[in-house]
Amino acid sequence: MKMLESITGGPPPLLPRSEVIEMMMEHFERLPELDRKFFHYGPAYLGGNAAFAGLIANSFYRRALNVTRGRLASSLPMAVLPFITTVAFYDAMVSGPLLSGDLDCPSCSVFRGALIGVIGGGAYPVLLALPVNAGLASLYGSAPMPGKATALRFAADISRPVLRRMRPVFVLQALFGGYLGSRHFETYQKLVQIVSGSGAEELRD
């Protein structure tokens, strides 16, 4: 890793990688407060957007299937599950790899953030809202349900207008996810500079 090499004085590393990462974590509190807060809470904002997208998708499908009952039963999972999934994916794919030194590519960080924004905060809520509301429609008889032979066509037909309306959400989630990935990589660079400036001598002892 180029960033880790800048800390250890060039390849090969003079200390085990685990010790370099530990030193980075020890210096995390020396980052500006805004960077620390954005690194900690940024994924939660992305997850909050995903929860909001889930509620929007849920509303569209409820209207399409004429579902008027079970509002809480459909709204709760549509807000909670996208939030948890998006935050967990972002931590696993961006935040964690940055702090461990496994993600040392600014464009990769941006791409991963945008991809998580689109999938976790856009596509996943839509895919989740369809079976939830189809189940309620079948339970309460608010709309005729197709047989197994036509289930896929029914899902495609009813999802097409929903996906059209959700396009702005996909775009916004991609933009915010990419921005978050960019900002987090900048924070990672600052952290490496702090460590390389204050801990280089310790690493060489």
Is the pLDDT reported for residue 201 higher than 80? Answer: no
Q: Could you tell me the pTM of the whole model?
A: 0.82
Contact assessment for residue 125 and residue 50, using Cβ atoms and an 8 Å cutoff: yes
Give mean pLDDT, residues 48-64: 93
Contact assessment for residue 136 and residue 73, using Cβ atoms and an 8 Å cutoff: yes
Please state the φ and ψ torsions of residue 66, each to the nearest 5 degrees. Answer: 60, 35
Residues contacting 146, CB < 8 A, separation 6+: 153, 154
- In 3D space, the residue among 55, 58, 20 whose CA is nearest the CA of residue 136 turns out to be 58
User: What's the pLDDT at 6?
Assistant: 53
Confidence bin at 3 (pLDDT 50/70/90): low
Confidence bin at 203 (pLDDT 50/70/90): very low
The CA distance from 111 to 174, in Å, is: 9
Per-residue model confidence as pLDDT tens digits over 158-172: 999 999 999 999 999
Give mean pLDDT, residues 51-60: 93
Q: Which has more pLDDT, 146 or 49? A: 49
Percent of the chain with pLDDT over 70: 85
User: What's the pLDDT at 200?
Assistant: 47
Per-residue model confidence as pLDDT tens digits over 70-121: 888 889 999 999 999 999 999 999 988 888 778 888 999 999 999 999 998 8
Q: Where are the domains of the chain?
A: 34-195
Contact assessment for residue 114 and residue 177, using Cβ atoms and an 8 Å cutoff: yes
* DSSP string of 96-108, one letter each residue: HHHHHT----HHH
Give mean pLDDT, residues 143-161: 85
Q: Which has more pLDDT, 199 or 173? A: 173
Contact assessment for residue 124 and residue 85, using Cβ atoms and an 8 Å cutoff: yes
Is the pLDDT reported for residue 204 higher than 70? Answer: no
